[in-house]
Amino acid sequence: MAGIAIVMDLLRKNPSLTGRTVHSYGLFSAKVAASAAATSAAAMAPFATWAFFGKGVPQVAYCDAGAAINGDYISRIRSVSENVFEEEDSVDYSTKEYIIELKPLFSAFHWKTLALTSLRSFLLFYLPLLEPHANMDDDDDDFLQDTHEERVNLVVPFKKSVKQIVRETTVVTTRRVLERLAVHYVSQRLAWKLLKDTPKSAARKAQRGMPTLTYIYSVGRTTFRGHFLAVLASWLVQVGIDVYRFFSRICGSKEETDEIDRAAELQLLGRKIYIATLRCGASLIFASIGAGLGAIIIRPTTGQWIGCALGDLAGPVILSLCFEKLFHVEL
């Protein structure tokens, strides 16, 4: 308001300006008055509002009154970019995708898997009974006694087979739980490595033309990662069984608990956990070595699977023999 009053006072004091002159410079006077009003308002404005009047960070704006954007401008930009990336000489950028395929949680209860597990368990405990008896010239009493013992032995392997089926089913289910925990709580790259299909990975590596030693090391490293959750699940189940047996003996009847030395039982539990850890570690290491050697000797997919299975079984046996020969300790 103070600026407008100053401009009107100047016009009133200058009588030489005619009405035409005033009208010809009307637009100029209005602009001057507006500028003066804005200047006075900015001068009286507080510090917090200086940015609104341009006293804060410098701002630059460009305006071209004659420029006009054609309607096909955006479409032409898109067509140019598509032509650039369709050229053969353009740079090819690709990102690695980590495809994680989770198996069903209760896949161990599928009829095929359960049938194979049952067959393997029954053969494991019933095949030793097919061995021929050494003593064939016994009398009738001994024959009846052997028949009675044979009937009892047919029941005991059955119980062991059922326990083995339950154990393997629990191990597979525990592995599926660990896989889901890995997907949710570790990085996507690490989860992909832990859940990788190792036979297919061995086949892909065989197509790259690697040297023999490099290929064995690469397949062994991949098997070590892919087989880790299976070994960890087996270790957890075995430790869980040992802990359950420990507490079942400690928390039994009063007469039995009085005779049990808890310190000795606790020491025995620690020894069992230590032995289970060594066995599982040997299974993991020898499974990796066997997978690398099997992929070279046989076909990559079949050889990797067979070598991993044989190494998994042979690892604890080799470890037991080494401890027995070197340290005279039975595992």
Rounded to an integer, the average pLDDT of 182-192 is 91
Q: Residue 252: CB partners within 8 Å, gap ≥ 6?
A: 260
317 phi-psi bin (left φ>0, alpha ψ -120 to 50, beta other): alpha
113: tokens are 């898997």
Burial of 117 (0-12, 13-18, 19+ CB in 10 A): buried
What is residue 155's predicted lDDT score, i.e. its pLDDT? 84
Q: Residues 240-260: pLDDT tens digits? A: 999 999 988 888 766 666 677
Q: Residues 103-151: pLDDT tens digits? A: 888 888 988 888 988 998 888 888 777 765 444 444 445 544 554 444 5
Q: What is the pTM of this model?
A: 0.65
Query: For all residues of the chain together, what is the average pLDDT?
Result: 75
Decide which of 83 and 198 is more confident. 198
